Structure 1
Amino acid sequence: MSSRDILLSDDGSNGASIIGPEGRPITEEDLPPPNTKRWVMRRKAEVVAGVRSGLISLEEACRRYTLSVEEFLSWQRLIDSHGVRGLRATRLQDYRNGQPAPRPRVMSGAAE
């Protein structure tokens, strides 16, 4: 089953669920809360999976999370190009530039 497969709820409710980025079913209620400030890989991937599957519209996701369409599309492109790990904020420059980031220089010896 892919992340785009929609499952109907067994409890008789009208809420649909999808298989999320971690391989377990998620519903609209499982999406990150609207006041999310810390966007870890998993939360970004859940929003992308929710939009791709139709669980939530792109417009609703952008409104709910105060995202620009460009920011959402960048998450989607990173997932398509590099998988969920591409959403890591610490590796963003590496993925966007297509080349490794420069390594920090290590200074040896005592400070003068």
Structure 2
Amino acid sequence: MVETDSVVGPTGEQLTLKDLPPKDTKRWVVRRKAEVVAAVRGGLLSLEDACRKYTLSVEEFLSWQRAIDEDGLLGLRTTRVQDYRQDKSKIQNH
């Protein structure tokens, strides 16, 4: 269910449903991830609709949201391999 017609995007622009990435997006650059997170947070798109439209797991979407909360847009640049390497290095250093 859509609660609004537009939301403020990650760089301050107004986003509407037509501005969101296409449903067949394969390459998830920072801007596209951030736009989907902004759309869900702003009520433009529900979490369920976003996951269905983009074939995302809830966990993957929540990881994008968490990355933004913790490190801003730069947090979305981290890959899973980088996350794994950071976690492994923390364990080895303790």
- Which of these residues, 79, 82, 102, is aligned with residue 71 of structure 2? 82
Aligned to 1:26: 15
Task: Tell me which moved more, 86-95 or 55-64.
Answer: 86-95
Q: What is the one-letter code of the residue matched to 1:60?
A: D
Aligned to 2:45: 56
CA drift of 1:23 comes to 1.0
Tell me, in whole angstroms, the C-alpha distance in 2 between the residues paired with 1:52 and 1:36: 20
8 A contact 1:19–1:26 mirrored in 2: yes
Which one has a larger percent helix, Structure 1 or Structure 2? 2
Aligned identity (percent) is: 66
Unaligned runs of 5+ in 2: 90-94
Q: What is the one-letter code of the residue matched to 2:16?
A: T
TM-score (norm 1): 0.68
TM-score (norm 2): 0.80
Aligned to 1:93: 82
C-alpha change, 1:93 and 1:29, in structure 2 (3 Å) is same
Secondary structure at the counterpart of residue 85 of structure 1:
helix
Tell me, in whole angstroms, the C-alpha distance in 1 between the residues paired with 2:12 and 2:38: 11
CA drift of 1:57 comes to 0.3
The answer to whether the aligner puts 1:67 opposite 2:56 as a matched pair is yes
Q: Which has the larger Rg?
A: 1
C-alpha change, 1:90 and 1:72, in structure 2 (3 Å) is closer
